[in-house]
Amino acid sequence: MKFKVIILLTVALAWFSCGDKKSDGPVTEPAKEEVKKEVADADPMSNKGIGPISSVTMGEIDADLAAAGEVEFKAKCTACHKISKRHIGPALKGVTERRSPEWIMNMILNPEEMVQKDPIAKQLLVEYNGAPMANQNLTEDEARAILEYFRTKN
């Protein structure tokens, strides 16, 4: 009987001390919820992100530009991204349907600030276990070509 009480006490103690530790963790559950709510409140397509790109003009898909983007994507991005499957980063199929073109280019050109300040990018960083998207030091033209390539992958 005494033995059972001791076990119960130990379990209770362990439970309480775990409860304390949780609140010091770097990514607590409430923080995750907060980020999710911030994202849910905004329309993702109206979010242009943070960075050098404030407006992108898009017409019919430019096949040559998309082909140049494909070469660039394969050289600089496939270490972490696949088109149809989650890898180190998200699958990029359909990305132009869930993000604005400005947001995509700012994510490519300015990922450090995006994952710190942009609500969608912050949520992605949590979802991808804190693995930060790398800045591949592309020019705006190179990033625009990759955007055109993504438009062919919806």
Please identify, using beta-carbon distances, which residue of 67 and 138 lies nearer to ligand HEC: 138
Q: Which of 39, 56, 65, 80 is the binder for ligand HEC (CB under 6 A)?
A: 80
Kindly state the smallest distance separating residue 46's Cβ from ligand HEC, in Å: 15
Q: Which of 99, 102, 118, 144 is the binder for ligand HEC (CB under 6 A)?
A: 99
Exposure letters 42-60 (e unless 16+ CB within 10 A, then b) = eeeeebbbbbebeebeeee
Angle at 21 between CA 20 and CA 25, to 5 degrees: 130
Q: How far apart are CA 93 and CA 84, in angstroms?
A: 6
66 lies in the site for ligand HEC, by CB under 6 A? no
- For tokens 């960083």, the residue is 125
Site residues (vs ligand HEC, CB under 6 A): 73, 76-77, 79-81, 88-90, 92, 95, 99, 104, 107-108, 115, 124-125, 128, 131-134, 136, 138, 146
